[in-house]
Structure 1
Amino acid sequence: MDASAKKLLTELKNKKYSPVYLLQGEETYYIDLISNYIEANTLSESEKGFNQVVIYGKESPVNVILNHAKRFPMMAERQVVIVREAQEIPDLAKEMGQKLLLDYFSRPVPSTILVLCHKYKTLDKRKELGKKADQLTNSSTFKKPYETQLPEFVAEYIKSKGSVMEDDGIAILCESVGNDLNRLTNEVDKMLTGKSEGQPVTADDVMAQVGMSREYNIFELQKALIAQDTFKTFQIAEYFAANTRKNPLIMLVAFLFSFYSKLLLAAGNSGSSEKELVSILKISPFAARDYMNALRKYSLPKIIENISLLKEADLKLKGVNSGSEDEGQILKELVMRLIH
């Protein structure tokens, strides 16, 4: 979990509240996680009716938000005002709107907890509001995680749900979904449905969830190429060639291009340990083993040649110099040339 998100949640669980929370940045998962926790846990159910307001930025100019924030709680110690999609506040970019917010940040109402959920971006640091907001509020900026951070995130999340996932399953899930934390957690939640507490999530469960064949998938193709297993490579290529609608070949080529590009970088750092490769290539610890194995099989000139072959195949799949070859033929020729 993001360090600042963990710190905020710890403070909230210990009932240490701030008058203004500014939650901003590209990674919306933590913004939702924290604001949802505040909404669910700060007030008792009997207090929420009169003392908790959830509004949306698009419908709420700054003066409307501050009218809510400046009210006093009724028969409660505090009130909560949550502004979702705060990046859409109509006058947020205007001088008067920013001045009103800045004035409130400087002198907030102590009995109000104002939560601004500013998604996908941060306040403009060139403006006075953006410069001073971090000093005047409990502000957290959440960035998209690196690929290397995803396995730990998934393992920690599934542990919090009382279960575990096989390492191969974590690797497949992270590679398939990428750094979309909302989707990662949704996929995990779906896989846990129907499982008893403590029952592990297997790699087969993950493949079924993401719609991937156990034997014929992009990860098995990469492993076959690393091992330079001609039979297995061609077998998987045949499967993909026969199922191009379900497995777009342009995406497959892009995946392999990324692999060989990172392999080139790894070759330029020969002698690095698995742990060092994780940092250099920004990959998961599980993937580092594959790169170490590939470095034993592929020479530097061959890696460079393969990158060139993948660029050529990408152009052909987009209709450039493809001649009479169909997508399946382009793929089968490509994988054979990648090995030999």
Structure 2
Amino acid sequence: MTYKEIISELEKKIYHPVYFLCGDEPYYIDLLSQYIEKNVLDEGEREFNQMVFYGRDQNIASVLDAAYRFPMMSSYQVIIVKEAQDLRDLLPKETGSGEIKVDKNLLVSYLDNPMKSTIIVFCYKYKKVDMRTSLGKKLSKKAVLFESKKIWDDKIPGWIEDYLKSKNYIIGHKAVALLAEYLGNDLSKIANELGKLMINLSPPAEITVSDIERNIGISKDFNIFELQDALATRNMAKSVQIAEYFASNPKENPFVVCMMSLYNYFSKIMLLHSLRDRSRNNVAARLGVNPYFVPDYEKAAKTFSPATLEKVFHLLREYDLKSKGVDNTMADESEIYREFVLRLIYIDRVKTETIY
């Protein structure tokens, strides 16, 4: 089942005995478990009929012992198993020959005849169950099995837009790109930062770059996009100014993050050079960017030829190694920032050597 399907059923008070929430993205696992925790039982029922287990401290037997109890003055009892990936004896064990001991897995047996008055929620984060095992097969047939998949980086801007739209907000292209670049693909972190924005803006409202700077602390003038634009236009003064800002604030602008962003940026410019179909929609699709930003990449492609980009990639590799201590005589990260940006500005005049 999907997240929306599960929520839809829960809102209609359609409950299942076992929910197994797994996957690499904890955000949706937390949302579902929190919804069940807060909404299935009313406040008076929770005191006697709701329990929270932590996988590191328990085994599956203790969880199922609790599951076999009857609720007190309530139709249901709810058991939330957090950190279920650490729950002892949860998964089937293998013999030396690799065969699964089906008969010795307690959860497999429980799924055949669960307590209808008990709702168990397993929060199995950062992993998923092997569907070839007896437990995987049984969960797919007898439980609500939900896999929360990690969202790819290029899908994050769209996710942010959809999230804000659901709260009656809109956000501009530059603002959403800035958030996506600086917050990464951690949905819980993104939702938390968006919460800071929404506290200070009553819906309906548009979230701007200035709002982000004011409420989250990402500078609208000194950020990776402004650096990219300054480099693309060969604006030496602005490039150095931004580099100085980054160098003065290395905790907020880690060099390794800057390098990764620039590598992705220049990789897209190189890809643009190879495209035959230069229509805006095709370029946007191939580069994985919003069509709004295509002119910026076209402008950068005029500045950085394929030959120049080869030098850029050598320089990026050289300074990636320097940031890790290889052939680095500089005192700190701020010095690496300054030297790197200066060499990048004058890339066509710089001799680069292949780094092995």
**What's the TM-score bracket when you normalise by the shorter of the two chains?**
0.7 to 0.9
Map of 1:181 onto structure 2: 187
| Cα distance in 2 between the residues matched to 1:223 and 1:52 | 55
Map of 2:123 onto structure 1: 117
Map of 2:255 onto structure 1: 249
1:305 Cα deviation (Å)?
Answer: 2.1
Task: Note the alpha carbon deviations across 1:72-106, whole angstroms, 9 max, x for none.
Answer: 23333332222111111122246389611001112
| Cα distance in 1 between the residues matched to 2:344 and 2:315 | 9
Deviates more, 1:280-289 or 1:136-145: 280-289
Is residue 136 of structure 1 aligned with residue 142 of structure 2? yes
Map of 2:343 onto structure 1: 334
Deviates more, 1:218-227 or 1:324-333: 324-333
Deviates more, 1:132-141 or 1:320-329: 320-329
User: Number of residues paired by the alignment?
Assistant: 338
Amino acid corresponding to residue 78 of structure 2 in structure 1: V
User: What is the TM-score when the length of structure 2 is the normalising length?
Assistant: 0.83
Amino acid corresponding to residue 220 of structure 1 in structure 2: E
1:310 Cα deviation (Å)?
Answer: 1.7
| Cα distance in 2 between the residues matched to 1:210 and 1:10 | 33
Deviates more, 1:204-213 or 1:240-249: 240-249
| Cα distance in 1 between the residues matched to 2:255 and 2:55 | 41
1:259 Cα deviation (Å)?
Answer: 1.4
Q: 1:107 aligns with which of 108, 113, 128?
A: 113
Asked if 2 retains the 8 angstrom alpha-carbon contact of 1:313 and 1:334, the reply is no
Distance change (3 Å), C-alpha of 1:296 and 1:263: same
1:321 Cα deviation (Å)?
Answer: 4.2
Q: Identical aligned pairs, as a percentage?
A: 37
1:239 Cα deviation (Å)?
Answer: 3.6
Matches within 5 A, 1:60-71: 60-71=58-69
Matches within 5 A, 1:4-43: 4-43=2-41
Q: 2:311 aligns with which of 305, 310, 329?
A: 305
Distance change (3 Å), C-alpha of 1:277 and 1:101: farther
| Cα distance in 2 between the residues matched to 1:136 and 1:100 | 14
Map of 1:75 onto structure 2: 73
Tell me the SS of whatever aligns to 2:260: helix
Structure 1 residue ranges without an equivalent (≥5): none
Tell me the SS of whatever aligns to 2:123: strand
Distance change (3 Å), C-alpha of 1:209 and 1:287: farther
Is residue 295 of structure 1 aligned with residue 314 of structure 2? no
| Cα distance in 1 between the residues matched to 2:330 and 2:66 | 67
Tell me the SS of whatever aligns to 2:128: coil
Asked if 2 retains the 8 angstrom alpha-carbon contact of 1:264 and 1:300, the reply is yes
| Cα distance in 1 between the residues matched to 2:81 and 2:245 | 50
C-alpha root-mean-square deviation of aligned residues, in Å? Answer: 2.8
1:314 Cα deviation (Å)?
Answer: 2.6
Map of 2:354 onto structure 1: none
Amino acid corresponding to residue 314 of structure 2 in structure 1: S
Asked if 2 retains the 8 angstrom alpha-carbon contact of 1:224 and 1:233, the reply is yes
Asked if 2 retains the 8 angstrom alpha-carbon contact of 1:146 and 1:282, the reply is no
1:34 Cα deviation (Å)?
Answer: 0.6
Distance change (3 Å), C-alpha of 1:44 and 1:238: closer
| Cα distance in 1 between the residues matched to 2:186 and 2:41 | 31
Asked if 2 retains the 8 angstrom alpha-carbon contact of 1:27 and 1:142, the reply is yes
| Cα distance in 2 between the residues matched to 1:94 and 1:154 | 39
Q: 1:157 aligns with which of 128, 143, 163?
A: 163
Is residue 53 of structure 1 aligned with residue 51 of structure 2? yes
Amino acid corresponding to residue 178 of structure 2 in structure 1: I
1:282 Cα deviation (Å)?
Answer: 4.1
Asked if 1 retains the 8 angstrom alpha-carbon contact of 2:92 and 2:104, the reply is yes
Asked if 1 retains the 8 angstrom alpha-carbon contact of 2:92 and 2:134, the reply is no
Tell me the SS of whatever aligns to 1:200: strand
Deviates more, 1:4-13 or 1:314-323: 314-323
